[in-house]
Amino acid sequence: MPFHLSVYHASVGLGPLQLNALQEAVIAPSANGFLVPPVINKVIRVVGVGGLLNRAQLNSASIRDYTPFDIDPVNVGVACESPVREIDLNDNPIPLVTNEELDAFVTNSGAGPTRTTVGVVFADGPTTPVKGRMFTVHWTSAVALSAAFVWAAVTPVFDNGIPSGTFALVGSRQNSATAQFHRFIPRGGPAYRPGTTSMTAYDGAQNMKDRYGRMGEWMRFTNTTPPTIEVLALAADATQDGFLDLIQVG
């Protein structure tokens, strides 16, 4: 099942106030929101992060047939909490209409502008866990991120080489000083960029559905074409590292 992580962000006060769709190459913006893409036109996860954040909200024409969709709990702070606060809709996704605008709103507890972020995972339906002979590899990058609050691409360097062949990515964890989210850019294949939350401490408790095949197959790559990793952080972090869970499929 393909899935894709998109993010909204703005520096806002009390609210409810609208966040801006963060520019990306895959899903088209519409005003301050995203146009719901074809195929992956359902929402399976939502994560809100902000220093004074009380709650988040998703809204679109089809969602308004009922009422704006309120999101709680949220992560109060500059990074995702441990454990991560999010809503997991994988077993019962929010259905949307292709090409309608999906907007994100937040309510903060203070009037002063506060950087606030909402991550949304689009999919074509519930993801299906996968099993197989799995192994985990550690990667690093010593290249500073290009800027704060933009998707910044880094090239992972594996501690140890991986065997010759084709691999399914079935889980991920990424750490850096101020990271909030990360996602993967495939080389070839579907354009979708699967991703999830990031951690700022090695003992941070991420959602374990992100690991060991529980979210299904994220993408495939060969040992000669590893994916680029995009990181969204509060600052231009100087170093990053993480772990990939892999199954060899060819």
CATH of range 3-123; options 3.30.450, 2.60.120, 2.60.40, 1.10.3470:
2.60.120
pLDDT at residue 161, rounded to an integer: 87
CATH class of 134-248: mainly beta
Q: Which of 217, 175, 199, 196 is nearest to 5 (CA)?
A: 196
pTM score, whole prediction: 0.96
C-alpha span between 162 and 158 (Å, rounded): 8
Q: Which of 166, 247, 176 is nearest to 212 (CA)?
A: 247
Is there a shared CATH topology between the 3-123 domain and the 134-248 domain?
Answer: yes
Mean pLDDT, residues 85-105 taken together:
97
- pLDDT band of 187, cuts 50, 70, 90: confident
Residue 160 near residue 232, CB atoms below 8 Å: no
pLDDT digits (tens, 9 = 90+) for 133-152: 999 999 999 989 999 999 99
C-alpha span between 62 and 101 (Å, rounded): 10
Where do the domains of the chain lie? 3-123, 134-248
